[in-house]
Structure 1
Amino acid sequence: MKPAETSQIAVIGLGSMGLGVASTLLRAGRTVSGYDPVPEACAKFEEAGGRLATDPAAASRDASVVVIVVVTAAQTEAVLFGTDSHEGAVATMRRGGVVLSSATMAPDDVRRLAERCEAAGVDYLDAPMSGGMARAASGELTVMASGSPAAFALADPILAIMATTVYRLGDKPGIGASFKMVNQLLAGVHIAAACEAITFAKRLGLDINKVFEVITASAGNSWMFENRVPHVLKGDYSPASAVDIFVKDLGIVANMGLAAKFPTPVAASALQLFLMTSAAGMGRDDDASVARLFAQMTGLDLPGGAKAK
């Protein structure tokens, strides 16, 4: 298929990342249809100029590229193959088209979904993303992709718009997912460590705004410290990435380690912190809420209060 034939695109999942991807494609002059079950997300998509559909199958009708930006393997499967109430994207998209699947999931799930797509005459690119909401909206994502040469040929023009860095990691779906899980191990550990550090500083009686200034200019800094600690300083835990995302992702890491007989003790500790934060009622709040968990356990008063939203 020629790149010119990839002008009709569907984006399924219009949350913080998906909306950014869709908006970037629209700004590039692409025709984009989309679907999300959340009305607020749909309204923002329409405001950006997208064509809203009633379900994944309607959004994907005759599309040559379907970008799936949901959270779990189960959600991806429902988008692709439908449920009791609606058809899936594979039933209506163009034969010989390509699915760009970006949910963070276990490699075994990726391989299973890819086999089903390929049996139906659709290519599957394992394409997890990294970069967060802001980079999705600016077309500056990093994509860890694996799949057949045919899948890459179809997806390359779209990836060039969505991302500044695309790693071609192999010709088999599942490799990209494995790379993403290494990233998620580090991301989850770094968020948990950042939250522990900033609340430890508060316990020491330090000015945590000054701590942020000093650490971001020092060797102890991390991308996650620099990105997440401002949420704590503002007392704003509106979810850019929710606590339950890392309950899921670090759970996958734990299961992969178990299957490989490889210990992941630091990731396991971080998983327990996210799990405790979720159990305390903050699962849908920003993942920097781990700092609120520390504050609640130790009686600290963070900006906005330990229960800030």
Structure 2
Amino acid sequence: MAEQKVGVIGLGAMGSGMAASLRRAGYDVAVFDVRAEAARKFAADGGTACASVAELAARCDVVVSVVVNAAQTESVLFGEGGAAAAMRPGSLFVMCSTVDPNWSAALEGRLAERGLLYLDAPISGGAAKAASAQMTMMTAGTPEAYARAGGVLDAMAAKVYKLGDRAGAASKVKIINQLLAGVHIAAAAEAMALGLREGVDPASLYDVITHSAGASWMFENRMAHVIAGDYTPLSAVDIFVKDLGLVLDLARATKFPLPLSATAHQMFMQASSAGYGGEDDSAVIKTFPGIELPRKRD
């Protein structure tokens, strides 16, 4: 059994699978989620449901944060009853959100002033891979932070990339990954929309494309949602409004042109403005005119 006590904050699509992977690996896992029932459900199979972020932070050697963005991370750490004040000196905070790399780099210094270690550690792979410990982690941090993490990272991910000895490098790589992911989803939706407009059977189109040179992981994964007519959010439209916005902000700082990213960002913005922001990101297809989308079967 692993000796470290690990806390996971945020039991959404990714966090719940990561916490379960840690539990299977033998760690003493504490969890917190704003939905208290989610934490209690996890703890029913082993582990501890904490009533607050501070309670979790005080009992854990490693705190893994799997919240949506930098604002939520700020709240987790420095809000009322935040983790930073409760964590013991020498404890490690692992930040798994997609954020501005400059913000992540600054956070390392802010935590160091409190005697805390930090890993810039965004994640990728989706809920199924998180649940089976097959996801990817892009990480950067000091040797001391990696030493404190021990086997925690490997317990959650099949691939753990070490991308630098200072925070920020991993977030840059994650943002570039999100550039491709967002553009691929937008392109996949455009292709499926054209097929629907031209009267092509969507299931047949899906089968052909996924076995042809035009295939992508995002087409195979997200267009399956469209064919099923199921837009239950695993990753929502508004996530890519945020993430592609971060991509464009990063490039804008050095006046670097990203025309495909800008177009994809506008597509997700349009979908969000049309009321689909909380739906699965494949719902970007709903903005195309003159098409009849497959309906969800009962």
TM-score, normalised to structure 2's length? 0.96
Whether 1:206 and 2:197 are equivalent positions in the alignment is no
The one-character-per-residue Cα deviations of 1:97-142 (angstroms, maximum 9, x if unpaired) are 1111011000111012111111111110000001010000000111
Separation of aligned partners in 1, 2:225 and 2:124 = 19
Whether 1:218 and 2:215 are equivalent positions in the alignment is no
Whether 1:18 and 2:12 are equivalent positions in the alignment is no
User: Are the aligned partners of 1:26 and 1:48 in contact in 2 as well (CA < 8 Å)?
Assistant: no
The corresponding residue for 2:243 is: 249
Root mean square deviation, CA, Å: 1.7
The corresponding residue for 1:51 is: 48
Structure 2 gaps, min length 5: none
CA 1:243–1:43 in structure 2 vs 1: closer, same or farther (change >3 Å)? farther
Shift of the alpha carbon at 1:199? 1.1
Of 20, 23, 33 in structure 1, the residue corresponding to residue 30 of structure 2 is: 33
Separation of aligned partners in 2, 1:259 and 1:13 = 31
The corresponding residue for 1:75 is: 72
Separation of aligned partners in 2, 1:95 and 1:77 = 19
The corresponding residue for 1:289 is: 283
Separation of aligned partners in 1, 2:75 and 2:258 = 31
The corresponding residue for 1:278 is: 272
The corresponding residue for 2:6 is: 9
The one-character-per-residue Cα deviations of 1:184-217 (angstroms, maximum 9, x if unpaired) are 0000000111111111111111111011111111
Shift of the alpha carbon at 1:229? 0.5
Alignment length, in residue pairs?
Answer: 298
Shift of the alpha carbon at 1:178? 0.3
With 65-74 and 148-157 compared, the bigger mean Cα shift is at: 148-157
CA 1:156–1:293 in structure 2 vs 1: closer, same or farther (change >3 Å)? farther
Query: 1:132-281 alignment to 2 at 5 Å?
Result: 132-281=126-275
CA 1:40–1:247 in structure 2 vs 1: closer, same or farther (change >3 Å)? farther
Separation of aligned partners in 2, 1:98 and 1:145 = 13
What secondary structure is seen at the aligned counterpart in 2 of 1:34? Answer: strand
Whether 1:303 and 2:294 are equivalent positions in the alignment is yes
Separation of aligned partners in 2, 1:91 and 1:122 = 10
The corresponding residue for 1:100 is: 94
With 29-38 and 213-222 compared, the bigger mean Cα shift is at: 29-38
User: Are the aligned partners of 1:9 and 1:60 in contact in 2 as well (CA < 8 Å)?
Assistant: no
What secondary structure is seen at the aligned counterpart in 2 of 1:16? Answer: coil
Separation of aligned partners in 1, 2:48 and 2:280 = 29
Structure 1 gaps, min length 5: none
Shift of the alpha carbon at 1:167? 0.7
